[in-house]
Amino acid sequence: MEMIVKLIPVFPLFGFLIIGLTNKKMPKQVVNIIACGSVFLSFVAGTIAFFSLLGMPSNSRFITGFWFDWIIAGSFSSSVSFMFDPLAAVMVLVVSGVSFIIHVYSIGYMAHDGGYWRYFSFLNLFVFSMLLLVLADNVLLLFVGWEGVGLCSYLLIGFWFHKKSASDAGKKAFIVNRIGDFGFLLGIMLLFWTLGSTNIKEISHLAPEMLVAGGGLVTAITLLFLVGAVGKSAQIPLYVWLPDAMEGPTPVSALIHAATMVTAGVYMIARLSALYVLAPTSMAIVAIVGGFTALYAATIGLAQNDIKRVLAYSTISQIGYMFLACGVGAFSAGIFHLTTHAFFKALLFMGAGSVIHALSGEQDMRYMGGLKNRLPFTYKAFLIATLSISGIPLLAGFFSKDEILWKAYSSGHGHPLLWILGLITAILTAFYMFRLLYLTFHGKSNVTAEAEKHLHESPPVMLIPLYILAFLSIFGGYIGLPHALGGGAWFENFLMPVIAESAHVIETGSHHAPSLEYILMLASVVAVLLGIVVAYNFYIKNPEKPKQLAQRFAGCYRLIFNKYYIDEVYDYLIVKPLYILSLIFWKIFDVRVIDGFVNRLAKFFGSMSERFRILQTGFVRNYALVFFIGVIILVGYLCYIFR
């Protein structure tokens, strides 16, 4: 079994190498088989390992996959080895499963792109890095995967690099992530400095013994890790890169910028839950960051016209939910939402991709509408995803979101205010998602004549993946059916051993009457319906109303439409000053001082070289003379010693 765990990330690595090295020499069909096949093999290996994990007793579910010692220096050691425990198992299945579906979808979506080979090799490299990230048994290897996915994200956002906006977006993502990564790296160093280990299992054991709960040290470590998580998972204040990341191909947005990579921060916090439970302050900050991001991004989502940007803000908002869950100590609820979110958000993006594909690249919702009958299959899948994300009862999104809201209220770390934040977000989510659905598929058609000509439903290779995800968006939630609804909370129990110690601390919170859970659940359902009804009123019944509202609250609308001017603020406060500073350093310090000095020095050596080469006359007699002078000096030195 160890071998299978070891092999999980290897398949996509080989896929990347083969496709990347042979490039255009390989026919497209073979590329398809290698790219999709390698990810599928990872999925199969993950499934096999998962079932063998299930066969073990619940508190000793753990498989290691040791490759080799990587760095050994003094007391520091780090190895390339994997740990396959319930948390890793969930992540592996989600990552490889969703990746496989999106790989297949990409065959159709990218069919006519000139960079087909480059695209699939990057995509495989991404899957490899992501699997490395979730399987790593030490923080340093996790960081390698973390950087790997960051690199792939950068490469794929700027996939159409000849477009300036795309390459700018790639750079923005990379630079903003650097800030987060810097915090992460400092966290790793501080962690090693205090605990003397980077191994996650050891950390989990050592932390409660060696660190003072609530102490400054553990708070500092967890906050530094949080900076990393905030960068990668696009939370306040480092979320600005994700909307721009939509410049990449849509399947990439679905895979990297919605379903998997951006949730890495949530995974990391859950992975290090043993540390976080020791730092209540950090937990509170995680929860607040998550709650506010959820609400904040949802408000921006209300007024965007680009279909992918709405989904991008929705992603930020949903990850905010996951952070909220982690912050109140409900790590398993966060991972649960991560899983269901991967299904329905990937589906939404792929549905949007199908629409964009059908409209020859149009992304503005103002030029859509009435597509319900033209793209019937896409519409149905999209509807399911919309219902799921909005939190309509009995669909996947309902269970996971409701779990988070319940924990936000009831957990020892929770607070009713956090619950209210979540509830308002739920209303807004339902509203902007149905706004998107109505604008795109309902009402009268605003499709341009040019796009109308090529309008077509997507090929089966794109539609079948949609329906697999649609199925999961409906039924994926039943793995975590809560007790209150007669389920066994299987998902929570499965993850329990990994974050058991953390959960232990959480459970000391106050207990609530079981009836309260039903009341809260009802409240959230009402909230969702409210959002939907308002959206229906606005966009189906009175299509003029949004415009009137926007005019009446013009200032407010402009603020939201322009994303609270945060990009502009960052530009003014950070980018511009840095630019000016670098200009000063370049023009004055670098050119005059450094270059001046170096050039002088180089000229000095150059002239010496020029002068001395005359000594190399080419005459043997001169050479012998130099030789002999050397002999005289050396022997003379000896005579001097022995005088």
Partner 1 sequence: MMPPINWPVIYPELAICITAFIVLIVDLFLPGRHKWVLSLISIFGVLVALQIVFMNFGLKGDTKAFFGMVVSDATGLYFKTIFCIGTLLAIFVSITYQRREFPEVGEFYTLMLLSTFGMMIMASALDLITIFLGLEMMSIPLYVLAGIYRGRYRSREAALKYFLLGAFASGFLLYGIALIYGAFGTTNITRIVELIADGKPYSPFFVGVGSVLVLIGLAFKAGVVPFHMWIPDVYEGAPAPVTAFMSAGPKAAAIVAILRIFVITTPVIDLTWVFWVLAVVTMTWGNILAINQNNIKRMLAYSSIAHVGYLLVAITVGGEEGVSSAAFYLLVYTIMNIGAFAIVVLFAEREEFYENISDYAGFGSRFPFAAITMTIFMASLGGIPGTAGFVGKFMIFSGAINHGFYWLAVIGVLNSLVSIYYYLRVVVAMYMRQPQTRLVDIAISPSLMIAIIITLLLVIQIGIFPDNWLSLAKQAASLAF
With beta carbons less than 8 A apart as the criterion, state whether 332 and 499 touch.
yes
The residue (of 33 and 635) whose beta carbon lies closer to partner 1 is 635
Closest alpha carbon to 342 in 92, 5, 50: 92
**Residue 610 makes contact with partner 1 by CB under 8 A:** yes
**Residue 631 makes contact with partner 1 by CB under 8 A:** yes
The residue (of 60 and 68) whose beta carbon lies closer to partner 1 is 68
CB of residue 189 to partner 1, shortest distance in Å: 21
The Cβ of residue 490 has, within 10 Å, a number of other Cβ atoms equal to: 12
CB of residue 71 to partner 1, shortest distance in Å: 11
**Residue 622 makes contact with partner 1 by CB under 8 A:** yes
The residue (of 519 and 638) whose beta carbon lies closer to partner 1 is 638
The residue (of 513 and 615) whose beta carbon lies closer to partner 1 is 615
Query: Which residues are CB-neighbours of 58 under 8 A, at least 6 positions away?
Result: 493, 494, 496, 497
Rounded Cα distance, 557 and 364, in Å: 18
Helix ranges (DSSP H) in 164-279: 164-195, 200-210, 216-232, 241-244, 250-254, 264-271, 273-276
CB of residue 610 to partner 1, shortest distance in Å: 6
Fill in the DSSP letter of residue 237: T
Query: Which residues are CB-neighbours of 228 under 8 A, at least 6 positions away?
Result: 146, 180, 181, 183, 184, 185, 187, 265, 268
Element (H, E) at 445: none
Q: Which window, 22-30, 41-49, 86-94, 627-635, contacts partner 1 (CB under 8 A)? A: 627-635
Rounded Cα distance, 322 and 332, in Å: 10
**Residue 624 makes contact with partner 1 by CB under 8 A:** yes
The residue (of 581 and 635) whose beta carbon lies closer to partner 1 is 635
The residue (of 29 and 609) whose beta carbon lies closer to partner 1 is 609
The Cβ of residue 58 has, within 10 Å, a number of other Cβ atoms equal to: 12
The residue (of 593 and 631) whose beta carbon lies closer to partner 1 is 631
Q: Which window, 321-329, 568-576, 586-594, 624-632, contacts partner 1 (CB under 8 A)? A: 624-632
The residue (of 511 and 640) whose beta carbon lies closer to partner 1 is 640
CB of residue 117 to partner 1, shortest distance in Å: 18
The residue (of 593 and 598) whose beta carbon lies closer to partner 1 is 598
Q: Which window, 302-310, 336-344, 435-443, 599-607, contacts partner 1 (CB under 8 A)? A: 599-607
Rounded Cα distance, 300 and 532, in Å: 17
CB of residue 404 to partner 1, shortest distance in Å: 46
Q: Which window, 23-31, 432-440, 518-526, 608-616, contacts partner 1 (CB under 8 A)? A: 608-616
The Cβ of residue 288 has, within 10 Å, a number of other Cβ atoms equal to: 18
CB of residue 638 to partner 1, shortest distance in Å: 5
Q: Which window, 30-38, 165-173, 317-325, 606-614, contacts partner 1 (CB under 8 A)? A: 606-614
Residue with tokens 């609820």: 333
**Residue 189 makes contact with partner 1 by CB under 8 A:** no
The residue (of 519 and 639) whose beta carbon lies closer to partner 1 is 639
Q: Which window, 259-267, 269-277, 299-307, 604-612, contacts partner 1 (CB under 8 A)? A: 604-612
Burial 341-375 (b: 16+ CB within 10 A, else e): bbbbbbbbbbbbbbbbbbbeebbebeebbebbebb
Residue 126: how many CA atoms within 13 Å on its side-chain side? Answer: 34
Residue 580: how many CA atoms within 13 Å on its side-chain side? Answer: 6
226 in helix, strand or coil?
Answer: helix
**Residue 623 makes contact with partner 1 by CB under 8 A:** yes
CB of residue 363 to partner 1, shortest distance in Å: 38
The residue (of 57 and 605) whose beta carbon lies closer to partner 1 is 605
CB of residue 66 to partner 1, shortest distance in Å: 18
In the beta sheet, which residues pair with residue 65?
Answer: 82
**Residue 640 makes contact with partner 1 by CB under 8 A:** no
Rounded Cα distance, 414 and 403, in Å: 13
Q: Which window, 27-35, 47-55, 230-238, 609-617, contacts partner 1 (CB under 8 A)? A: 609-617
The residue (of 564 and 597) whose beta carbon lies closer to partner 1 is 597
Q: Which window, 140-148, 207-215, 521-529, 598-606, contacts partner 1 (CB under 8 A)? A: 598-606
Encoded one letter per residue, x for contact with partner 1 by CB under 8 A and - for no contact, window 199-238 reads ----------------------------------------
The residue (of 3 and 73) whose beta carbon lies closer to partner 1 is 73
CB of residue 624 to partner 1, shortest distance in Å: 6
- For 211, the token pair is 């660190």
**DSSP secondary structure string for all residues of 117-172:** HHHHHHHHHHHHHHHHHHHBSBHHHHHHHHHHHHHHHHHHHTSSTTSHHHHHHHHH
**Residue 21 makes contact with partner 1 by CB under 8 A:** no
Q: Which window, 94-102, 183-191, 577-585, 630-638, contacts partner 1 (CB under 8 A)? A: 630-638
CB of residue 178 to partner 1, shortest distance in Å: 22
Query: Which residues are CB-neighbours of 524 under 8 A, at least 6 positions away?
Result: 391, 401, 402, 405, 423, 426
Measured on CA atoms in the order 7, 478, 320, 284, is the torsion positive or negative?
negative
Q: Which window, 219-227, 308-316, 526-534, 632-640, contacts partner 1 (CB under 8 A)? A: 632-640
Radius of gyration, alpha carbons of the chain: 29
Rounded Cα distance, 331 and 323, in Å: 9
**Residue 74 makes contact with partner 1 by CB under 8 A:** no
Size of the site for partner 1 (CB under 8 A): 26
Give contact residues for partner 1 (rule: CB under 8 A). Answer: 602, 605-606, 608-610, 612-613, 616, 618, 620, 622-624, 626-627, 629-631, 634-635, 637-639, 641-642
